[in-house]
Amino acid sequence: MARDLLVLGAGMVGVSTAWHLRRRGHRVTLVDRNAPGRETSFGNAGIIQREAVRPYRFPRDPATLFRVLPNREIDIRYRPAGMARAALPLFQYWRNSAPERYARIVPEYAALITRARDAHGEMIDAAGAGHLIRRGGYLKVFRTEQAWREEARQAGRDGAEYDVTHRVLDRAALAELEPDLGPGLAGAIDYTQPWTATDPGALVAAYAEHFQKEGEPQPGGRFLQGNLENLSRNGDGWQAEVDGRILDADQVVLALGPWSKPWLERQGLHVPLFVKRGYHMHYGAQDGARLNHWIMDAETGYLLAPMRAGIRLTTGAELARHDAAPRYRQLDAAEAAARRLFPLGERLDPQPWLGARPCTPDMKPVIGPAPGLPGLWLALGHGHQGFTLGPVTGQLLARMMDGEPTGVDMAPYRADRF
């Protein structure tokens, strides 16, 4: 039976959830303070990952910890105030990264990642967004032979267990694919299954536009831009106030990414979310140089992506308060390293972009009902993979909301697991 549903948050996760619910014939209103895909979903590396079956774990080896401690690295930086505020979830994150705990988490995480690309494919085809997608994988490059060979061994293990496909490229083979990369690389792993988006924000916008399109037998969904001011129970349903406008709904999906935590706490729910922030900047290329693939400089900790707006450089993670002022030294350091790898031109954006990724201590998203609050559903905490996991999250959550089998054990993603 068709219901009146409200989805709060128009990033990749919220838009995808609204899209799937609308396809099932429900009357869906999608709400965000900005246009769809203009927050965290706008600023990512644009990779729809299939190979990332192992979530990013907290480093536990002394060598890495001592390397990070001076706070000058590209892959990870921290602010003491942000670390203090998130001390408990970060400690839990460290504990969950221990080998035995992590080994239990990986198959639960992989159950989503291995379904993510196909879920995107359905939406890409329906929205006519194929012009934004490249289906050629991406390259992870290495500066030392030891790290390169270890990645190749791990890729082989993941291939046997999770059907991850890859090619091992030596220095010469890499140079054939990317002749404008600088010297000093030992080799690369070509992960062949992922897709890449030349404009991540535009892909979210295309999904949102299709969500609003009239079609048989489903009516078009509705997008409302405005600030969420209140969310409360209303009899058997829910009521939201957006810029003074009252919206009644039978059920609500909270998909506000890093902004979810205060709204959860207003409902008396505590989910140990913390944020990892990241920066990006677009560049031209010097002297006719060309970047043909998405390139992850794995041992340094940044990524270069040939996007529509220019070559996008994305940094590693910054552990800081969500509302802390930008600090661009991490981006500056990444840019200096990237210029030694590829002849980047001038900066193209007026200022660097900064966004925040909503993370959980066990590296898995929260997908499912809000405990003790009938009619409230949660889709949040996707960490580094919100762009990849949005469509499969929407697909699974829509099935749950309609009382249908999901085909995936959803217990590992429940909010009451913490």
Gap between the Cα atoms of 200 and 206, Å rounded = 10
Using one digit for the tens of pLDDT, what is the confidence trace for 231-274?
999 999 999 999 999 999 999 999 999 999 999 999 999 999 99
DSSP SS3 for 312: strand
Q: Which amino acid is at 38?
A: R
Asked if pLDDT for residue 21 goes beyond 90, the answer is: yes
Gap between the Cα atoms of 329 and 351, Å rounded = 13
Using one digit for the tens of pLDDT, what is the confidence trace for 319-378?
999 999 999 999 999 999 999 999 999 999 999 999 999 999 999 999 999 999 999 999
Predicted local distance difference test score (pLDDT) of residue 220: 85
Mean pLDDT for the stretch of residues 118-129: 98
Please choose, from the candidates 127, 130, 112, 51, the residue with its C-alpha nearest in 3D space to the C-alpha of residue 294.
51
Question: 219: pLDDT confidence band, cut at 50, 70 and 90?
Answer: confident
Predicted local distance difference test score (pLDDT) of residue 217: 67
Gap between the Cα atoms of 138 and 375, Å rounded = 40
**What integer best gives the mean pLDDT of the chain?**
96
Burial of 383 (0-12, 13-18, 19+ CB in 10 A): buried
Mean pLDDT for the stretch of residues 65-83: 91
Mean pLDDT for the stretch of residues 41-68: 93
Asked if pLDDT for residue 218 goes beyond 80, the answer is: no
% of the chain residues with pLDDT over 70? 100
Q: What is the pTM of this model?
A: 0.97
Question: 164: pLDDT confidence band, cut at 50, 70 and 90?
Answer: very high
Gap between the Cα atoms of 380 and 360, Å rounded = 9
DSSP SS3 for 40: helix
Gap between the Cα atoms of 267 and 274, Å rounded = 18
Domains contained in the chain, CATH given = 1-57+97-131+197-272+362-418 (3.50.50.60)
Burial of 414 (0-12, 13-18, 19+ CB in 10 A): middle
Question: 316: pLDDT confidence band, cut at 50, 70 and 90?
Answer: very high
